[in-house]
Amino acid sequence: MVDGVEQLNHESKPQEKTLSNEFDQSLPVVKQALIPPPALPMPVPSAKRSPLGTLCKGFALVSVTIASAAAGLTLAMITPLPSMLAPSSGSGFRPFGGLWHGTLRYKLTRPVNVLVMGIDRVPGAKADSEEIFSGRSDTMLLLHLDPTDKSVSMLSIPRDTQVQIPNEGTVKINHANVIGGPALAAQVVSKTLNEVPVDRYVRVSTDAFRELVDLLGGVRVYVPKPMSYTDQTQKLKIDLKQGWQTLNGSQAEQFARFRNDAYGDIGRVQRQQALLKALRGQLINPMVIPHIPRILKVMQKYIDTNLSPEEMLALINMGLGMDKENFKMVMLPGRFSAPDEFIASYWIMDLVGRDRVMRDYFKLGAQDATPSRAANSLRIAVQNASGNPKAGSQMLNRLSNLGFYNAYLVDDWTDSQAQTQIIVQQGDLQAAADLKKTLGLGQIEAASVGDLESDLTIRIGKDWGNQ
């Protein structure tokens, strides 16, 4: 062991260096002391290898920036990049290939939790100062990266989640960063979520997202309804039409920050998860490679993290063999507070739902198999996206015949889709699997993009007509 990094030598295999199991999980109040990185210099065996190392480090930094700025989109850390990582078949230079297929690899050797925060604009803060990271966390996500099964789970924590902070009392969780920076934010998240360890943090300022999307050439998303209003608080004019669109940086920020509807901040969480999928396609596009130098130059000033370059490389490396089905998203289960319940409006955690999410997504707590929930205890929203106006009522009848009596119709999804989805709105993956088996169709969507009042949302596709 050398400074927390295990070195493995093989006669016929590339040299490997692995991040050790001995992550310091303490949470001191000083940012600089929050889990110091291993003192391991990046080897530079040749002049040709040096730009590769620099490029990979920089790309990891951009990856984290993409992630947090757009609602925690740490895709490059956790998504395979075969087109970029394959060795060149010709004589041309292929970025990234030399590092992974050369003499050095970094490996994650135990599950790691990374707290990602997108920080609100701080009025009056200079663009190149640390002060830009001192605002409220507009976005807060906890990522669980597990090398044992090559999976990643992402928990979206609504910014209005009600928490208790010593000497502050009852506040919204987005205020923790203002009071005590990333260390206090990590402490609050850990205490709120059943003492889950927080190993690393990433903070990104809001301005990064808009510039990054422009550098990537825009992002194609589906806007489910017209969005038009001026948010005086955010100083943001939002004007988006319904339908599939390629949004520039300004428009993507409008899409992510829109909250002029009944769902407020929770609706934003759903749209942020939709952006996650959209940006994934952009990130793995080989056309991104020529823009990396400029992206690096722009992004570095927007990020604050205690992830070392070696750790970033380990996280990227973990994603090389990961299937997209092993990336799961969930929102912290809960409810809106009643108007007369508190002075401020809060997202009140569902404690049973929280415990289920921490067990199933973060492997925290007893892992014994839990009995399936009774069919009539599940609230199932039925949303028609098949183009057949009768499909919704037909699905309700089918569910009733199967014993699912607590099902209801919601407004049609405005974009038709080929395949029926079972959306795991509250994180109950077992219930979704049971429903899929009973129905005999449906693709399980591990994301919280369905009806907010449901446990599961069935979004009916055209395949339903073949049943």
CA distance 136 to 177: 6
110 vs 82 pLDDT, higher one: 110
DSSP secondary structure of 230-273: EETTTTEEEEE-SEEEEE-HHHHHHHHH---STTHHHHHHHHHH
In CATH terms, is domain 5-360 a member of 3.30.565.10? Answer: no
Asked if pLDDT for residue 195 goes beyond 50, the answer is yes
DSSP code of residue 92: S
Token pair in block for residue 331: 């929102």
Asked if pLDDT for residue 341 goes beyond 80, the answer is yes
- In this structure, how many other beta carbons lie within 10 angstroms of the beta carbon of residue 383? 22
Q: Of 69-83, 86-100, 357-371, 394-408, which has the strongest mean pLDDT?
A: 394-408
Q: Of 37-41, 46-50, 317-321, which has the strongest mean pLDDT?
A: 317-321
Of the chain, the percentage scoring pLDDT greater than 90 comes to 31
- In this structure, how many other beta carbons lie within 10 angstroms of the beta carbon of residue 15? 13
The mean pLDDT of 157-170, rounded to a whole number, is 92
Per-residue pLDDT reduced to its tens digit, 221-278 = 888 888 887 766 656 678 888 888 898 888 888 888 777 666 666 777 778 777 777 7
The mean pLDDT of 391-411, rounded to a whole number, is 94
CATH number of 375-466: 3.30.70.2390
Asked if pLDDT for residue 15 goes beyond 70, the answer is no
DSSP secondary structure of 134-146: SS-EEEEEEEEEE
Which residue bears the tokens 């360890």?
197
Q: How confident is the model at residue 334 (pLDDT cuts 50, 70, 90)?
A: very high
Q: How confident is the model at residue 367 (pLDDT cuts 50, 70, 90)?
A: low
Domain boundaries along the sequence of the chain: 5-360, 375-466
149 vs 189 pLDDT, higher one: 189
Asked if pLDDT for residue 455 goes beyond 70, the answer is yes
237 vs 56 pLDDT, higher one: 237
pLDDT of residue 326: 81
Per-residue pLDDT reduced to its tens digit, 112-143 = 999 999 888 888 888 777 888 888 998 899 99
Lowest-confidence pick of 125-139, 289-303, 346-360: 289-303
90 vs 459 pLDDT, higher one: 459
SS3 content of the chain, % helix, strand, coil (to 5): 35, 25, 40
Per-residue pLDDT reduced to its tens digit, 173-192 = 999 999 999 999 999 999 99
Lowest-confidence pick of 3-17, 52-66, 136-150, 383-397: 3-17
Which of 196, 453, 449 lies closest to 334 in space, CA to CA? 453
Lowest-confidence pick of 10-19, 111-120, 226-235, 422-431: 10-19
pLDDT of residue 49: 36
Lowest-confidence pick of 50-64, 121-135, 374-388, 446-460: 50-64
pLDDT of residue 300: 72
The mean pLDDT of 146-157, rounded to a whole number, is 89
DSSP secondary structure of 395-463: HHHHHHHTT--SEEE-PPPSS--SS-EEE-TTS-HHHHHHHHHHHT--EEE-SS-S-TT-SEEEEE-GG
Asked if pLDDT for residue 408 goes beyond 80, the answer is yes
pLDDT of residue 57: 41
